Amino acid sequence: MNSDFIWMNGELVPYEKATVHFITPTLHYGLGVFEGIRCYQTPHGPAVFRLEDHLKRFLESIHILGIQDFAYDLQTLRAATHQVVLANHFTECYIRPLMYMEGPMGLNMDNSRPKVGIAALEWGPYLGEEAQQTGVHLMVSSFTRLHPNINMTKSKVAGNYVNSMLVKTLALRSGYDEAVILDPQGFVAECTGENIFMVRKGVLYTPPLSTVLEGLTRDSIMTLAGDLGITVKETMITRDQLYIADEVFISGTAAELVSVRAIDYRTVGEGRPGPVARALSEAFYATLHGDGRHSAEWLDYVAQDALQPAS
Ligand code: PMP
């Protein structure tokens, strides 16, 4: 899982040289912000899915933390993303921007300066190829998802993912594939890196945005469901509603769209991807590969001259 170049603070740096000093507040305290983006192969060359929306969320995450003097705007980061995909000769890849702090030890973020890198890596579906066909077994985690007044959940703060790592590792060690996490009130929030949906009597439900990350895959799926004439409702969901749902599936850039076959050893629906998940999956993959109704709107084709100096 590596590449030839990582874009760092305005230039392409060879992979081995893309390093950060031990004394960085991001490493010690988790104050960094990241994004997860995917680039797909299409008949018109590689295209990045919803790149501007991801970069907007990235800049908003930085804004939410109250970081000042972040030196890069959306179009600079967009051009850098195109460059890093091209420089590594990727047709399909995962793209990882990271804002990190450079400065002395200590908790005052105003003593540090925000820096940024963008890596492009080969990374297959997060839950594996097989999971996309058969579905996954979820555990309801004993850990609680973050309260918005602890670490803010609309910001993809690196430190938020300590919670995700605790949840994910315990789920895997316990023999599950992934876990769903409940919010501080006990309602279903999201998974370690995915939003969650359930289908009951033909209606698609998903938790509201109050405590979850505003997933771009979630948003895309809600739009595609509308296209297919499926009613979508954002509502609080309990764990037992998931147990008796006709279908449950999860969505995220890394995982894409994956059905849930069981939760806590209770089979969900037929125990395999159901008709709504299959229809949405088909529409979603067509979109990603340039063949969907929203492809023109959502795909950002990598400019083949992105590595040429601007004239
Ligand atoms: N929730 C969390 C906690 C995540 O980390 C992610 C992945 N970014 C998502 C949901 C899904 O978001 P997206 O569809 O934009 O990747």
DSSP 3-state of 169 = helix
Per-residue confidence (pLDDT) for residue 271, from 0 to 100? 97
Ligand 1 centroid – CA 310 distance (Å): 34
Whether the predicted pLDDT of 307 surpasses 90: no
Nearest in space to 116 (alpha carbons), one of 55, 159, 29 = 55
Nearest CA to ligand 1 atom 4: 193
**Ligand 1 mean position to 305 CA, how many Å?**
31
Asked whether 3 lines ligand 1 (CB < 6 A), one says no
Query: Of the residues 115, 156, 168, 233, which is catalytic?
Result: 156
Spatial CA neighbour of 49 closest among 284, 304, 306, 311: 284
pLDDT tens per residue across span 79-124? 999 999 999 999 999 999 999 999 999 999 999 999 999 999 999 8
pLDDT digits (tens, 9 = 90+) for 59-89: 999 999 999 999 999 999 999 999 999 999 9
Residue 229 CA: distances (Å) to CA of 121, 203, 204, 232, 276:
36, 10, 11, 9, 11
Task: State in Å: Cα 195 to ligand 1 middle.
Answer: 6
Atom of ligand 1 nearest to the CA of 164: 3
The CA distance from 125 to 256, in Å, is: 7
211 versus 290: the higher-pLDDT residue is 290
Please tell me the residue having the least CA distance from ligand 1 atom 9. 194
pLDDT > 70? residue 309: no
User: What is the per-residue pLDDT across 228-260, written as a single tens digit (0 to 9) for each?
Assistant: 999 999 999 999 999 999 999 999 999 999 999
pLDDT at 308: 77
Question: What is the predicted pLDDT for the residue at 21?
Answer: 96
From 52, 195, 288, the mutation candidate for ligand 1 (largest count of ligand atoms within 8 A of CB) is 195
Length of the chain in terms of residues written: 311
Cα(213) to centroid(ligand 1), Å: 6
Has residue 310 got a pLDDT over 60? no
The mean pLDDT of the chain is: 96
Q: What is the pTM of this model?
A: 0.96
Nearest CA-CA partner of 185 in 227, 236, 223, 135: 236
pLDDT tens across 171-197, in order? 999 999 999 999 999 999 999 999 999
Q: Is 156 a catalytic residue?
A: yes
